[in-house]
Structure 1
Amino acid sequence: MTLKKREPMLEERSNTAPGQPTVKELLDLYNMRHIGPDTKVHGVIGNPIGHSNSPFLYNAAFRSTSFNGIYLPLLVDNVSNFITTYSSPDFAGYSYSIPHKEGGPKCCDEVDPHPVVQHLDLVNTTSVGMKPRIDETPVSKEALKHYSLVFDAVYTPKLTRLLREAQESGATIVYGTQMFINQAFVQFEMFTGLPAPKQLIRDVLARNT
């Protein structure tokens, strides 16, 4: 008698607990079949974190370059406690998202003092205006007339209310997607030591925004 191996059913998200990945996500997104003892763990730290496109982007990039790594969404309240607890060499790299943009770097041994903000008039690094609260803005349209260059780190949606009203007020705008893509190039190379697959990163972000 020959026994045929039965493939697991790919359940829909509705059949999993909140925050728990589906079987399909484990196999297709997180590449579970190839995770082993030498797999390096990376992730994006934030709260909320369900909106982040980083897992789609980095896991696809890791897979395309045959890099033995995984990238996870990490829902974290206290970033200092998290970094202290998860300090194993298996945890190879993190990205910081809202609200840990300031607290995260304080946990680093070294911080690159790149003076990007010095060249910008107005920067929004909060979650104000992010889906689903797309009608919100951190700055009134009246105040925007005093700024010539406005950057919004929010990238879902691409054109936030802040950027739309800044554009209407005559300012030059910088989309959050531009920051996201360029920081992904740099972070991927820091994580892996490999050249970033730039077109793949652009394509993945385009599909998921």
Structure 2
Amino acid sequence: MTLICVPVFVNSQTDWRHQIDAAQKAGADLVELRADTATPEEALAALAHGPLKKLVTLRSTDEGGKDSRSDAARAELLSAALDRGAALIDIEFAAYQRSSELRALASKAGERAVLSYHNFAQLPADLVARIDAMLAVPNAVVKIAYMPAHLRDTLRAFEFNRRIRAAGRASIVLAMGEHGVISRLLAAYAGQYLTFATTPASGPSAPGQPTVDDLLRTYRFRQQQPNATLFGVIGHPIGHSLSPHLHNAAFAAVGFAGIYVPLLITPDYDSFANAIDDLRTHLRIRGLSITIPHKENAIRYAREHGFTIDPLSQHIGVVNTFDFNQSPPLALNTDYAGSLDALVSAWHGQRESLAGKRIAVLGAGGAARAIVAGLAHYGATVVIYNRTLARAEELAAEFNGKTGKVVAAPWANLCKSCCEAYINCTPLGMYPNIDTCPITESDISFSSETVVFDTVYNPLHTKLLKIAQAHHAKIVTGSEMFIRQAAIQFKHFTGHDAPMDVFRHVMSKKLG
């Protein structure tokens, strides 16, 4: 079983007792006592506190810590910790190489020694050679931590981990920072000895550490298996994404052995293409959700690599889903489908019931494009309102006559609109600008038969939706759109119908 280790800095300025207790309460398996600046007495007192096992670390200034002791003094304190019952002690490989005292200590500790190397600047070109040199030291756990520049660097962590484990040794291989998060989230999947995580009480000791709660609850760390099916969401930025919370909860609900992780990819096409190639080769990833700014990159990649793309997604010109369960792989746009499904739910109908309905779309950007395409495809009459009329006219011209009718209108004419539904595709009202709104109460007269749909999902009830509710209109939240597009992805990824109640519960919990 891969262990979860919480770092706790031990010194006279920190409440290390509370932090150790918090780590135990959170569900950690052991605590790393970062005793860089602690006195020997403080370090040994922390070692004796509480039932959790301890890894004792004196991280030197050479490798990102604050310990300035001599190698001999460091060896003396670590040896005392070993004698007092430390489960593990950390010995930096560079210090091991130059210090006879630390070499003797590593021999004494055997499998209780963690031989470590850290590089906070980069993935060094000679890392494989370093790993092989570390493997020449008998018995010790081999720990590698480095700073990746991109996902390709991060995926090397899985290669390094396999190399160490193939030698019959316990491994800890971590890519740091936001690019490297998956090396931590998937540590149990990869069969690593342990990974590091934080609690609100302790905070991180290195960039990119997740919380214990995230590992246990969102990423089902205890249930991860080496044969799990991997999925992810690609974007830049990506740390805010709710998709991992939805899909992982749904996997658990239907009993599917999948893990869904966030993947930070820089915006350019080459980085995107390299990342997809590497994910397919090195992690055998089976499905991807794709968000801003990569939806155009995704359809370009799909076209260049012979994916199946449905005609409407081709026309929209962006896709947000890759399904590698098929051959050739499938690229599709679930944004428009999820949006239409959310809209027609207000009428208790199907997409076909959109034919002939008059629908106003506010905005002419990327979100509007997919929705306009879908509405036109199903025969609706669409009026696009945008503050820059030329953009609305350009979008209307592209999709007019595709079964339905699409026209553009000046924003000032919105007050004269007589549509059956209004869809906000602008960012107005999105957190943190929750007091903004695309309309004022005097702009439109909503009735109880009007449907008002806001594609903004944070906050759950935007100012626009509150105005609509005050006029007794039917409302559709951006959360419902997000859930329904995710449900379509989930079906493609797993073959199971999505547990919509689970999706809604997660969204409600996350958005308050």
- TM above 0.5: yes
Alpha carbons of structure 1 residues 42 and 126: separation in structure 2 relative to 1, 3 Å:
farther
Q: Is 1:154 the counterpart of 2:344 in the alignment?
A: no
Matched with 1:61 is 250
The range that moved more, 69-78 or 166-175, is 166-175
Partner of 1:3: none
Asked if 1 retains the 8 angstrom alpha-carbon contact of 2:430 and 2:456, the reply is yes
How far did residue 92 of structure 1 move? Answer: 1.6
* Pairwise CA distance, 1:136: 3.6
Equivalent position of 2:374 in the other structure = 116
Give, in whole Å, the separation in 1 of the partners of 2:288 and 2:455.
18
CA contact (8 A) 1:145 1:169 kept: no
Q: Which has the higher contact order (CA 8 A, sep 6+)?
A: 1
Residue matched to 1:35: 224
1:95: how far off?
A: 1.6
After TM superposition, give the deviation of residue 192 of structure 1 in Å.
Answer: 0.6
Secondary structure of residue in 2 paired with 1:73: strand
The equivalent of 1:134 in structure 2 is 434
DSSP-derived class of the 2:30 partner: coil
Letter in 2 for 1:202: R
Structure 1 gap ranges (5+): 1-5
Pair 1:52-2:241 in alignment: yes
Matched, 1:92 2:286: yes
**Tell me, what secondary structure is at the counterpart of 1:43?**
strand
* Partner Cα distance (1:171, 1:140) in 2: 15
CA contact (8 A) 1:145 1:170 kept: no
- Partner residue in 2 for 1:75: 264
- The structure whose residues are more often helix, as a share, is 2
2:209 matched residue in structure 1 = 20
Moved more, 117-126 or 179-188: 117-126
Distance 2:222 2:285 in 1: 19
Residues 170/117 of structure 1: CA separation in 2 closer, same or farther (3 Å cut): farther
Shift, 1:179, TM fit: 0.8
Aligned residues: 203
Distance 2:439 2:295 in 1: 23
Identity over aligned pairs, percent:
40
Q: Take 2:223 and 2:425, find their aligned partners in 1: how far apart are those partners?
A: 36
Which amino acid in the other structure matches residue 92 of structure 1? R
Among 4, 7, 29, the residue aligned to 1:7 = 29
Q: CA RMSD in A?
A: 3.4
- Measure the CA separation in 1 of the matches of 2:474 and 2:441: 16
2:501 is the alignment partner of 1:199: yes
Secondary structure of the structure 1 residue equivalent to 2:286: strand
Q: Return the alpha-carbon distance in structure 2 between the equivalents of residues 8 and 170 of structure 1.
A: 55
More strand by share: 2
State the Cα deviation string for residues 14-61 of structure 1 (Å, max 9, x = none).
612555312331222112233343222222223333332211111111
Q: 2:198 is aligned with what amino acid?
A: E
Normalised to the residue count of structure 1, the TM-score between the two structures is 0.74
